[in-house]
Amino acid sequence: MKMDVQTLDAKKSGSVDLDEGVFGLEPRKDILHRMVRYQLAKRQAGTHHVQERGEVKKTTKRIGRQKGGGTARHGNGSVSQFRGGGKAHGPRVRSHAHKLTKKFRALGLRHALSAKVAAKEIIILDDAALKAPKTSDLQKSLTKLGVVNGLVVSGGAVDENFAKAARNIPNVDVLPSQGANVYDILKRHTLVLTKQAVQDLEARLK
């Protein structure tokens, strides 16, 4: 599968062959859905916690007399039905992460890349580098390329000037090729890959 390569000035700079096994799959929504759930669950802090009955410090004196009060015989004020009592079955500190195999995670990334190719929401750049860290210059370049909401995946390391210039542009993310993941790819409308990023991803996912 051939695709045109462009420069930051939106000029043609040759072409590149995309591996069908990485970029040419039929996207499956169920695989992408499982991957997004996996990533979001892993990000959850899981630090929510409430005090249960055993953690509330209240008097253990019997509430009211044993008989004749017309109510139940309560022996402790820390139970959940009283004001200031503990929470019954409240949230505990825990990890929300669940496991997916390494093979499945790689398959999910291949389907995410293929989904962008199928939707024609992918741009291949010759290189993502700037001479100076100027946000206005990068903004003009992205406008020429038609990128309003996008993820730029560079090579092994992101160019420092490019990263600094992209910081103040809303809805534009920049990642190295090793950091490419399903959630960030699907979150943005346009996926921008450098030639080096294409090579890195194909070597990683073959």
User: Percentage of the chain surpassing pLDDT 90?
Assistant: 83
Average pLDDT, the chain: 94
Q: Which residues contact 153 (CB under 8 A, 6 or more apart)?
A: 175, 176, 177, 179, 180, 191, 192, 193, 194, 197, 201
- Answer yes or no: do 200 and 144 share one domain: yes
Asked which of 58, 73, 90 is the last residue of a domain, the reply is: 90
Instruction: Please name which of 53, 98, 94 lies closest in space to residue 77, comparing C-alpha atoms.
Output: 53
pLDDT of residue 67: 87
State pTM to two decimals.
0.85
Tokens of 44: 């959850």
Question: pLDDT tens across 106-146, in order?
Answer: 999 999 999 999 999 999 999 999 999 999 999 999 999 99
CATH of the domain at 109: 3.40.1370.10
The count of domains in the chain is 2
CA distance 109 to 191: 13
pLDDT in tens, 5-15: 999 999 998 99
Strand 150-153 to strand 172-175: parallel, antiparallel, or no bridges (unpaired)?
A: parallel
Q: pLDDT (tens digit, 9 = 90+) per residue, 148-159?
A: 999 999 988 999
- Give the residue carrying structure tokens 């070597």: 203
Q: Mean per-residue pLDDT for 58-65? A: 82
- Residue 170's domain comprises 2-45+96-205
User: From its phi and psi, is residue 98 left (phi > 0), alpha (psi between -120 and 50) or beta?
Assistant: beta
Instruction: Using a pLDDT cut of 70, give the percent of the chain over it.
Output: 100
pLDDT of residue 58: 86
Domain check: are 104 and 12 in the same one? yes
Is residue 33 domain-shared with residue 102, that is, in the same domain? yes
- Res. 77 pLDDT band, cuts 50 70 90: confident
Residues 41, 63 within the same domain: no
